Each structure stands twice: as structure tokens, then as C-alpha cells.
Structure 1
Amino acid sequence: MSHEQTKQEILAAFQSRHATKAFDPSKKITPADFAFILETARLSPSSFGYEPWNMLVIQNEALREELRAVSWGAQGQLPTASHYVIFLARTGAQMQPDGPHVTHMMDALGLSDEAKQGRTTRYGLFLEEDFKIGNNEKAMEDWSAKQAYIALGNMMSTAAQIGIDSCPIEGFDQEAIEKILVDHDLLDRTVFTVPVMVAFGYRADEPKRAKQRRDLDEIVTFIE
């Protein structure tokens, strides 16, 4: 396949992708295809390489119904999606320079003690001086969520390129969703929060109108 053909296939997938409100419940994503989608999330970039997200894949129908009761934006998706993913983003305490997740990630990177100290110093300056979020728990949670959205976008784009539909979902009562997960021993609120969910499957119907986006020259400014 040529370079131009590859570009056209990618653009065609983006043109076809839409926020699917209801899926065909008789059509299921194969385990191999969903593993492929998950792998693109795993390989996604994150600030400082700290990967401050986890995912829950909710296939249990009874649990989906509990979630549906507090998810006004997922009324059609929760009962019909082939796969339903809840993103978990690390809390501020987890993401402090001496926090347990950051410490774990630096150990996983195999850094020397000197390299760890240099990275810790740079990371601390980033939180305190560059973005000024280090002392704000909500801001730190939101920063973790930003990283999760990178993985979310890659999953949805990947799915579209292999003919699988998706819908990102923020229409839910965050506190209520988190309580349900805590009650099911699926969430430790000191470790994670829930910023976004996403449904995957095969559309039940075609969208009622063509994709509408602003023109490129309205959203991009080149500075020569």
C-alpha cells in the first residue's frame, strides 16, 4: 500500500467514525480485535512516561445496569455495546514526586539513583512552577485525566480504522459511578478517580447527518 493510500484509508476511518448512540447487540468484537485496541492504549504516550491510567472493561450486564442508572449519556450504549471501558486516572497523592505510582514507574524504568533524583527534581519543578498544580488535588486529578484522554483517543482511532465503532462518554454522575465501583471492590478512591468512559461495538444505525467540523483555516494558524 502506498503512502497516499494509507493516508486516504486513515481519513476515511475518521470520516466514518461518529459518536455511536446505540450498538447492534448481536455483533461482538472478537477477543483479538479488542486486544489490539487495548494494546494501542498501552502503547500511548504520557507526560514523563508515568502512564497515570488504568482501565476497567465492564462486561457484566448487572453491573452495566447499575452504571446506567447514573449515566445519562450512556443510556443507549451500556445495554448494547460489545465492550464498555471505564478509564481510571491516578489521584494527586499517587502522582506526587514521592507518590507510590511515580516511585513505581521510576523503578520500572530501571533508572540509576542519580537519574531518579534528577527526574524527581525536574518533575517537582514541573508540578510546582511550570503548571502550578502540585498542591491542588483536583488539578492533579485533572492532569492525570488529560493523560488518559490520549490513550482514549488512540483507542477510538484504532477502532475506527478496523471498522469498529465507539462513543466516548462523560455524561455521568462521577461520584455515583465511583461509589458503585467502590461497593463492588473495583475502585480505591485514594488511588483512582473516574474521568471518562467509552463504549465499543458495531453501530445499529447509520448517523442521521454527515459529519460537521470547522474548516481547517478556522482552527489552525501558522506562524512563519
Structure 2
Amino acid sequence: MTNQTSTIKERVMEAYQFRHATKMYDANKKIADNDFKFILEAGRLSPSSLGSEPWKFLVVQSPELRNKLMEVAPGAVEKLKSASHFVILLARKNVRYDSDYLFSQMKDVQQMPETVVTEVSGHYKRFQEQKQILDNERTLFDWASKQTYIALGNMLTAAALLGIDSTPMEGFNQEKLDALLEEEGLLENGQFGASVLAAFGYRKEDPKRGKTRRNIEEVAQWV
């Protein structure tokens, strides 16, 4: 193992040990613009099923909108008050194998030739049928929502590598939050729904104890 590889491993492990679900943020400390762009890039470059990228990251810095969010996201009130940056990860609805969005993703983003698009679309159809993703609107949304958690995880790690704290949250009323965001014109006429929340900033105080996890023998099994 080279010294460079060893250093990378140490840095990553230090970041994981550093990161915790921050309860209170220092409202006076703000994340530098280039650092937060790095965090967003970690989300944007994340993998997703079928390369579908069924997400959008709403960075909520408006004090007015943050106040409104407190009414529909009780689990995020303290973070909305003090976190430097607050993100709502949206999941795209109706990402079917035959949707305009997925065809555009293949042709315009992944730049597949027309013949390949037709073939791949058939593979996507079989995959989504086998996974029962096409059963109803909820199963489609849940599938897309799962992808946002991959992006979320990478954003949390990217932040930790920079010494930036974070808190992932699900403490919100889905129906009311979606209604609020729709009213604000942020869901693109119902094409998205809220998936998960995340706050970023700098801790007001250190956690009272270190990282606690089950040991590796309990969570990893070699077969």
C-alpha cells in the first residue's frame, strides 16, 4: 500500500468519525460558496439506477421560506433556524421506462443513438416490471426516492471531508411539504416530490460521546 493510498484511507476514516447528526448549529458560521458547490457536485455526480438521476436539490436560503418550512417539517425546526445551508432533496415522479424524461436522459444526457435507446428502453421495461416499480405512482416515486439517498450519502461524506457538519432528516409531513413547495412553484407542476432533508453547517458544540456502532463482525458476513 502506497503512502498516498494510506493517507486517503486515513482522511476518509477521520471524516466518518467526525460526522454525526448535528443537533445544534452555530448560526454565525457560514459555509464558503466553493465548499458548498463541492458538496452539491458530490450529489450531482452520484450513481443512480439506470443512470436516471431522478433528483433535484433545493437549497433553501430564503428566511421566509425557511419559516414556512418549520410548520410542515417539525423535525427540522432547529436546523432551519441555524444551519448555514438547508437542502430539500426532491425525487422525480413517473420515471417510467417509456417516460419523456427517461428518453431525454438517454438521448440528450447519455447521448445514446436512437437504436440503442430503443433496445435499452426494453431492458428498463423488464427491470421495472420485475422489481414491481410500475405497480402504481407510489412505487415509482419510492424507487426514485431511493436514488436520492445515494446522493445524500455522498453529500454528507463530502461535507465531512471538509470539516462541515450535516444532519439528514425525514421529520416532515409529506403532503403538506409538497403542497407548500408546489405553491412556491418549486415542484415543476407536480413533476417532483420531497424525498429527504439535509442541513449543513458548523456544530455549536461537540457531541457528548464518540461514534457508536455495532462491531464489523455483526454487520458484515463473508460467505
Q: Which amino acid aligns with 2:203?
A: R
Distance 2:98 2:62 in 1: 36
Report the AA paired with residue 116 of structure 1: V
Partner of 1:211: 211
Query: How far apart are 1:77 and its partner, in Å?
Result: 0.5
Q: Deviations for 1:111-162, whole angstroms, at most 9, x for unmatched residues?
A: 1121011100000000012x12212211111110111111110000000001
Letter of the structure 2 residue corresponding to residue 97 of structure 1: Y
Query: Which position in structure 1 is the counterpart of 2:125?
Result: 124
SS at match of 1:120: helix
Q: Which runs of 4+ in 1 moved over 3 A?
A: none
Residue-by-residue CA offset, 1:61-110 (whole Å, 9 max, x unaligned): 1110110122121121011011100011011x2x1112121011011222
SS at match of 1:76: helix
Shift of 1:209: 2.0
RMSD of equivalent CA atoms: 1.1
How many residues are paired up? Answer: 220
- Conservation of the 8 A alpha-carbon contact between 1:178 and 1:189: no
Partner Cα distance (1:168, 1:98) in 2: 32
Does residue 170 of the first structure (1) align with residue 170 of the second (2)?
yes
Give the CA deviation at 1:222.
0.5
For 1:134, the equivalent position in structure 2 comes to 134
Structure-2 residue corresponding to 1:146 = 146
Give the equivalent residue in structure 2 for 1:158. Answer: 158
Q: Residue 132 and residue 34 in structure 1: after superposition, are their counterparts in 2 closer, same or farther (change >3 A)?
A: same
Note if contact 1:29-1:82 (Cα within 8 Å) is conserved in structure 2. Answer: yes
Letter in 2 for 1:3: T
Q: Which amino acid aligns with 1:171?
A: G
Q: Is the 8 A contact 2:25 2:204 kept in 1?
A: yes
Identical-residue share of aligned pairs (%): 43
